[in-house]
Chain A
Amino acid sequence: MPAQSSKIRNLLRRFGLILSFLLLALALTLLSDRFLTSANIINVLRQSTINGIIAIGMTYVILTAGIDLSVGAILALSAVMTANLLQGGTAVPLAIIIGLGVGAGLGLINGLIITKANVPPFVATLGMMTIARGLALTYTGGRPITGLPDSFRTIGTGVVGGVPVPIILAGAAFIIGAVLLTKTAVGQYILAIGNNPVAARYAGIAVHRYTTFVYVLAGALSALAGMILIARLDSAQPTAGLAYEFDAIAAVVVGGTSFAGGQGGLGGTLVGVLIIAVLNNGLNLLNVSSFYQPVVTGVVIAVALLLHRALR
């Protein structure tokens, strides 16, 4: 029965990811008595919010068989612009909306270059990465913008009902993202485009429009992540978010979303984000040299990919 075996394989694929996460957590609990404490768990979650929010957009992009290398640079440019507006006295809600708009706008440019000019996503977003980063440096003269209004800083440092605001924001983003992907027509169109862009066009789906949309989404979510970052640090650096695109891609890939597009989802990405965050946290707790940490993370990503391939 092909149905039965594919069902089992499907379960194994999801189950395997959560299982490895639990094994990792179990190992760290045994190795360090500081791991399984509420303070540490809140800490891990807070640290994973920025990568988590970016990885939501990245999941959508990779589901269309695309890639977005510009998320870190978009984060930086929208963050310094928001910080500058705030220091200039712009009302906090307006500054946030403008900042998100900058992120979405840069994503829109990505999307239009990819769909209308038919430039491969890797190349288009590589260009955007260097341009946005350069603009962020130019805009600030290379200096950080420090000292933001307290009401703005709430989104990075506030706590509601014992839960830090960034965790609430990231959780909400995941839920909205997952609902959009699985429960709406738009989500199915995006999966369809990733699955077979030719058939999607033949089926009357506006392929260009929805492909552009995922880059807009990725840009806006990068801007949101940037705001949480600068609110927490009370400072917007033009070099903020450097190489964040790779953390996000790593989380998506560990989470089982296929680079070929059309297969995967946000549940996997969430676990992927948490695996990477817990791993880094554990290595810190175990006093592993920070030079070795990327090596370990890299090995984990490679192993995760090999497992996904074996289970496919």
Chain B
Amino acid sequence: MAGISKAFPGVQALQDVNFEMARGEIHALVGENGAGKSTLMKVLTGAHLPDAGQISWRGQPAAIHAPADAQALGIGMIHQELSLIPYLTVGQNIFLGREPRWKLPGFIDWKKLYAQTQDLLDRLNLDVNPRAEAQGLSIAQQQMVEVAKALSLNADLIAMDEPTSSLTDKETEVLFAMMRALKAQGVAIIFISHRLEEVFEISDRVTVLRDGRHIATRPTAELDHNKIVELMVGRELGDIYAYSPTEQRDVVLETADLSDGDELKGVSLQLRGGEILGLAGLIGAGRTALAETLFGIRPAAAGDIKLAGQPVKIRSPKQAIQHGLGFVPEDRKLQGLFLHMAVRENVLLSGMDLVATLGFINSGKANGLVQGFVDKLDIRTPSLQQEVRNLSGGNQQKVVIARWLALQPRVLILDEPTRGVDVGAKAEIHALMRQLAEEGVGILMISSELPEVLGVSDRILVMHEGRITGELTREEATQDKIMRAATGVVHHGI
């Protein structure tokens, strides 16, 4: 792949990226969230068309316009989210849409299908019944079935996006053994992982992407953890973050060994009024799980939550709100907004009691309150009656934030508050967070963007695999230290 570029509205996802694979090679692709790894793989496998650049396959220019083109060339992709159909058998899943035909047209030769499936499974040393339903398989087994599916398409190159993120150590070992076996058969594998230890264990070469650019490709043996992290984060902080510390007050939120029985594995933290606590980590580290558990969206399985020193039980967002919590969720459109409703109602929905008497909305009061926030947050909308879907991303995000400000929370949790927001609105949202902190609100900000975490936070917690693996003051925090904790390097004592 040479000179690949790809832009999405507002983002240059890939910029002039070169990438090459040798036959029978395991090549690790690493980078921060949003560095362009997944986009590069989607270009390779035909899910995205590049804006510029050329893909060559076995020395010949290749035209990959659709996933089917990539398949035909022998390029397979295993996505992070598995795509097996739960009620179909392993064999049916592997040959879906390409079932071997029987003598009569339209009939499937099941015997042949299952025999071929068995051959594929044998090739992977996978002890699974071809006639078993996919839903009964472990995640690891499902992943291997996906690999078998790729092999059934005669794939010579298989791209695996975070294949180990939901596997246990033992399952990972089995997957690695299979990858080595495939390598011996001449199949090349692209391995995307956030876990550097795995990269060192399995890969022959490493390519680092950062901000959509190709940074380096080196043999794994020439690198160490520190060097890779350096390559991943090595950029200067912009000066868009004007920081001024605020007075730290009493602890407003405290958790002890909080877990949800799934992604969150015992988190203890303290948040003070007037503090912006940054929560860093990679996708799947359990940051959102922490926020959702605090806000009553997920039930807490164990541990305690204290608000202003008082132990509380939070079983629903409604209760969380009554206790003075606010939550700006990660996915604005899915979790935050009512796209077909007006700006006014979107701001008011959590605080109807403020503007209603006996349930009847006082229109004048409602308009006054919402207009106040539209002015304060500089929400650009032609009117309060405007449907929220017609606003830009930044203004939509301000609408969600305004909903919580109306309730005057003691603790505000913001999950990726500036994702998909333009630079101007981003700075405004940061300034607003600081202003809230000055008013004594405790702010927990989840962000995958390291410059944001470093630029905005008073203190930084880093999560990895459901636990807090690092706590850094603003002064001592660096991208390097955060990435180490986020990739579990510190945690594993390296």
Contacts and interface: CB of A to CB of B under 8 A. Distances in A.
B345 A196 contact: no
Given A183-B360, A195-B339, A201-B297, A188 B382 contact: no
A199 B320 contact: no
Interface stretch (A20-28, A159-167, A202-210): A202-210
Interface in B309-362: 316-318, 320-321, 327, 329, 334-341, 345, 348-350, 352-353, 356, 359-361
Nearest to A201: B317
Given A195-B341, A202-B329, A204-B317, A188 B336 contact: no
Please classify the interface of chain A as helix (H, G, I), strand (E, B), loop, or mixed, using the class held by over half of its residues. Answer: helix
Contact of B335 (A1, A2, A198): A198
Contact of B345 (A184, A188, A201): A188
B386 interface: yes
A192 interface: yes
B390 interface: yes
B403 interface: yes
A213 interface: no
Nearest to A180: B359
What bracket does the count of chain B residues touching chain A fall in?
20 to 34
A1 B361 CA distance: 30
Contact of A199 (B338, B361, B382): B338
Interface in B243-283: none
A167 B43 CA distance: 64
A189 interface: yes
A108 B82 CA distance: 39
Interface in B368-417: 382-383, 386-387, 390, 403
Contacts of A6: 387, 390
A56 to B, nearest CB: 18
A295 interface: no
A262 interface: yes
Contacts, number: 81
Given A3-B383, A202-B336, A189 B349 contact: yes
A175 to B, nearest CB: 14
B337 A199 contact: yes
A196 B339 contact: yes
Interface in A194-229: 195-196, 198-206
B72 to A, nearest CB: 38
A3 B386 contact: yes
A195 B335 CA distance: 11
Given A199-B337, A202-B297, A188 B349 contact: yes
Contacts of B352: 185, 188-189
B390 A196 contact: no
B386 A202 contact: no
Nearest to B321: A204
Contacts of A235: none
Given A3-B383, A198-B335, A202-B336, 14 more contacts: A3-B382, A183-B361, A184-B359, A185-B352, A185-B361, A188-B341, A189-B352, A192-B349, A201-B297, A202-B295, A202-B297, A202-B327, A205-B349, A262-B340
5 contacts: A3-B390, A6-B387, A188-B361, A189-B349, A199-B334
Interface of B: 295, 297, 316-318, 320-321, 327, 329, 334-341, 345, 348-350, 352-353, 356, 359-361, 382-383, 386-387, 390, 403
Q: Identify the 10 closest CB pairs spanning chains A and B, nearest first.
A: A185-B352, A204-B321, A195-B338, A204-B318, A3-B382, A203-B350, A2-B390, A184-B359, A204-B317, A185-B356
